[in-house]
Amino acid sequence: MGERLAVFPTAMTEAVCNVVAATDYPALSTSELERVLSAAKLGLEDGPNKRTRLLITLNNAQVTQHAGNVLIVFLNAAMHPSRYVSDPSRFAQLQGQLNEVLILFGFRVNDKGQFARAPKVSTLGEAAQLSGELVAELRRRACHPVLLAYCDEELLRKSLFHAIQEAAKSIPDRLRRHAGLGTDGEDLYAAVFGGKVTEPLVTMTPFQTESEKSEHRGFKTLLTGIHGHYRNPRAHATRLGSDEDKQDFFEAFALFSYVHRRLDRADVAR
């Protein structure tokens, strides 16, 4: 954006500051903010906390210069991908959080970390859908697409509790549809993968050597563990009082993705 832009609404500048200068990760520290502001030839103004200090700095600079360009210079510097080489997840989270507010004003931060125009939306639901912080990070981590299809609404609402629950359901549901069975949990996995006296309907290995059979049985045990650890506790509880850790959430989806990729190779229909 090379043109001279009008001073941005204070509400937009404040929303940006609330994200970039928040107290917790992935926000920037005071020292990081000072380095970024130097790109815009600014120093951090005084104030009771870093969010207020950043807001005063950016708002005063826009008013003094009679232009909003300084905010763009700041954001482009703050979101330059080179700052996040060692922690790409931080970039994705900041980008998603920023876009959730910027989209309400018709702007966004693109994948190059640059301030850009975007279709303006009028509701928080539309903003969340277009910003897609969780979905963007899951895609960056090569999340299996079937998981996104099962819990798109939960991801939109940022309900980690329900997203994990729905994602875990995708595994038995896929096996039930493939095998034409109506059972669930251990009964389903025993029928699909076989037991001591029953032959498997689906094999995860060539199933010839003892090592291959052991790997196959281990996969069945893994699915039983997922059912007991992720699916059942959430099926018999409410999200009230739950405190899902975001890192645990991403790792759960990585595990579910691994399962679905193995089922892909086993030619289990989606």
For position 240, what pLDDT does the model report?
Answer: 43
**Residue 139, in any domain of the structure:** no
The answer to whether residues 104 and 172 belong to one domain is no
pLDDT, tens digit, 9 for 90 and up, residues 107-137:
989 889 999 988 776 666 665 655 566 777 7
The answer to whether residues 36 and 59 belong to one domain is yes
**Residue 2, in any domain of the structure:** no
Which of these three, 97, 131, 165, is where a domain ends? 131
Which of these three, 75, 98, 131, is where a domain ends? 131
Residue 113, token pair as written in the block: 């970390």
CA–CA separation, 146 vs 124, rounded Å? 26
**Residue 246, in any domain of the structure:** yes
Task: Specify the long-range contacts of residues 172-175, CB closer than 8 Å, at least 24 apart.
Answer: 172/223, 172/227, 172/231, 174/146, 174/260, 174/263, 174/268, 174/269, 174/270, 175/202, 175/263, 175/268
Judge contact between 100 and 132, C-beta under 8 A: no
CA–CA separation, 35 vs 30, rounded Å? 9
**Residue 30, in any domain of the structure:** yes
Judge contact between 146 and 174, C-beta under 8 A: yes
pLDDT, average across residues 53-68 = 96
> In this model, does residue 204 exceed pLDDT 50?
yes
**Residue 195, in any domain of the structure:** yes
pLDDT, tens digit, 9 for 90 and up, residues 12-32:
999 999 999 999 889 999 999
The answer to whether residues 165 and 204 belong to one domain is yes
**Residue 1, in any domain of the structure:** no
CA–CA separation, 46 vs 54, rounded Å? 9
Nearest to 109 by CA among 26, 41, 34, 31: 26
For position 97, what pLDDT does the model report?
Answer: 85
By CB neighbour count within 10 A (0-12 exposed, 13-18 middle, 19+ buried), where does 33 fall? buried
The answer to whether residues 121 and 178 belong to one domain is no
Q: What share of the chain is helix, strand, coil (3-state, %, to 5)?
A: 65, 0, 35
For position 100, what pLDDT does the model report?
Answer: 81
**Residue 138, in any domain of the structure:** no
The answer to whether residues 64 and 166 belong to one domain is no
The model's confidence at residue 241, banded by pLDDT at 50, 70 and 90, is very low
Domain of residue 204 covers: 145-265
